[in-house]
Amino acid sequence: MPAVSPTPQTLVRGGADVSVPPRVVLVSDQHTDTAARNRLIALLKDHGVDRVEVTGPDDPPPASGRGLTVLLGPDSRPDIAEALGDTPAPGRAEGYALRVGRHRDAPSVVALGGHDAAGQFYAVQTLRQLFRATGGDRWSVYGVRVSDHPSMALRGTIEGFYGQPWTHQERLDQMDFYGDVKANSYIYAPKDDPYHRGKWRDPYPADKLEELGALVRRATANHVRFTFAVSPGESICYSDAADRRALEAKLQALYDQGTRAFSIPLDDISYTKWNCDGDRAAYGDPGRAAAAAAQVDLLNDIQKNFIATHEGARPLQMVPTEYGNLTDTAYKQKLRSSLDPAVEVMWTGPDVVPPSITTAQAAAAAKLFGRKVFVWDNYPVNDFGNTSGRLLLAPYDKREAGLSEHLSGLVANPMNQPYASKVAVFGAADFGWNDRAYRAGANGRRALSYLADGDRRATAALRVFGDLEHLAPTSGDTPWQSQAPVLAGRISAFWTAWDGGGDRDTAVRELRTYLRSIREAPATIRGGAVQKGFTTDAAPWLDATELWGAAAVKTADALAAWQHGDRDRAGELVAASRALRDRAEAVRTTPARNRWGEVRPKVGDGVLDTFLSQAAARID
């Protein structure tokens, strides 16, 4: 069976594989999604098809299509419904059915039927993962039947971190990536965009507005809902009609660019003071209940007089000032009792950086806010103190199966490094699509394969590197994902053999093999198969990893020399290892993208460095 991400609700074998001939007929009509059709044609040409002949369902079949016919459109279209046969159409938003069939006396057919336009697009994204190389330049398609739909309505990311925002080109690439992983939401909320927060009243300059418009269009082409967020809480006068008009003008400018989803984040602000005397007169002394009353007044106004009056606008989203716990307060009580039921409320989990999120916690949050909550998940974001010097490459994990019953959606807050963030976002999208089938380990391996475009050697190198960047901290003292679990296990086994009277030569040889893979991983990752953006994001960490790996290999050689009685050689190798370690510790994260600036990139810290120190101490 092929590996498909996100994991479909149902994927079963449906017959023999279908060969892909040089000429293919694509049957579509006016109800076929344009983005899906364009992606499908490109996909076929990438897999050995020289000519795609597009016809309508009522046109006579051309002779060139006797090899393979592909049907794309609504699942209710008669020819698609007939070709799908007993493959059930989900009948749910963004759902689709897919069937690959080969018949002895009739052309082979691939039927792609979507419940809606997004469903058609996602059917094509699944087909993208069903091709199998058969030798030379030829391909076949797995003979499968798929019935699929998302478990959560909203899935994707919120660019909500502090520090250097992503560039325009990086964001455009992210939209294509989200299309690949069936993520349908991107919330634009970079804290260090001055027009998002500090200068929220000011209109975007023309060139920046043009960029945002291009981003909206790229998102739309990938069936991603571009959500524009503006965060006025630091300075807004809630009772001031002029401020409300300024806020609506900011939203209108993005509506005119094609945006249909909006958010008003009110996080990371104080409710112990007002920004104007008018709010004291309107809402009383500052405090939890008064702040909630002012915010509800504003949000209900925007929902009623902007969202509801603009065609196609989605329900307003908001981030409460109390966004990361399960404590009932006067603030939450006011939101629960008075906020328009249509408004989506975001919640970061039981903590700002939660080590886990359970279904019971999500159910409790829904009671606190009077609606299903929309999770803003602060992973893999690395903008807080405990992440200094870290890439967070552990797979998305420790979110309980069944959360889809209690959430309206889930978006991950990524790192300042957009391409490195793809590992965790790949998992968050998979979890949001089918949380009950999600497996973190398998998903992490698929994410790395995606980054390496399926290249096995590069994927293996990424797995070694990702293990060294596995630690995921919280804002407290205890990480929620451990550091370098694979390497730690190998080192533990090595010391057990070394200290326990085992075969030391074999133990050294086996560990050295893995340490060599650490030393060589950076060169393999930079060899061309892995996305260039990832190698750029990870450059300081790759530089340091190569040096740490070289130091570790020297240490393994020193242990072997010591074991065979060559104490002088062992001492020389320990000294060489220390010199390489010094060079590794001198590497800095330059150019710096994070608020923590130019710091030492952390590589397997607490595991790799500890091994070097322990080995040197024993030899010395």
Q: What tens digit of pLDDT does each residue of 155-209 get?
A: 999 999 999 999 999 999 999 999 999 999 999 999 999 999 999 999 999 999 9
What per-residue confidence (pLDDT) applies to 63?
A: 65
d(CA 118, CA 35): 9
| Span between the terminal Cα atoms of the chain, in Å | 54
Distance in angstroms (rounded) separating the CA atoms of residues 583 and 581 = 5
CA distance 197 to 233: 8
> What is the C-alpha separation between 582 and 563, in angstroms, rounded?
25
Per-residue pLDDT of 552-590, as tens digits, reads 999 999 999 999 999 999 999 999 999 999 999 999 999
CATH code of the domain made up of 10-148 = 3.30.379.10
Question: What distance separates the 2 farthest-apart alpha carbons in the chain?
Answer: 85
Is there a contact between 352 and 378 (Cβ–Cβ < 8 Å)?
A: yes
Which of the 8 DSSP states describes residue 20?
Answer: -
Q: Beta strands 373-377 and 144-148: pairing type?
A: unpaired
Burial 394-415 (b: 16+ CB within 10 A, else e): bbbbebbebbbebbbbbbbbbb
Residue with tokens 């009671």: 367
In the chain, where are the structural domains located?
10-148, 154-451, 485-619
Residues 6+ apart with CB under 8 A from 415: 161, 380, 381, 382, 383, 391, 392, 421
d(C-alpha 586, C-alpha 248), whole Å: 50
Cβ atoms of 519 and 552 closer than 8 Å:
yes
The pTM of this model reads 0.96
* Strand, coil or helix: 51: strand
The verdict on domain 485-619 having CATH code 3.40.50.450 is no
Report residue 493: phi and psi, to 5°: -65, -35
Per the CB < 8 A criterion, the answer to whether 420 and 533 are in contact is: no
DSSP 373-434: EEEEE--S---SGGGTT----SPS--B-TTGGGTEEEEEE---SSTTTTHHHHHHHHHHHH-
Cis peptide leading into residue 22 (ω within 30°):
no
C-alpha span between 89 and 98 (Å, rounded): 9
- Give residue-wise pLDDT tens across range 499-538: 998 899 999 999 999 999 999 999 999 999 999 999 999 9
Please check whether the domain covering 154-451 is classified as CATH 3.20.20.80: yes
100-154 pLDDT, tens per residue? 987 656 779 999 999 999 999 999 999 999 999 998 889 999 999 999 999 999 9
Q: How many whole angstroms separate alpha carbon 70 and alpha carbon 127?
A: 11
Query: What integer best gives the mean pLDDT of the chain?
Result: 96
The CA distances from residue 188 to 33, 100, 118, 191, in Å, are 25, 38, 21, 10
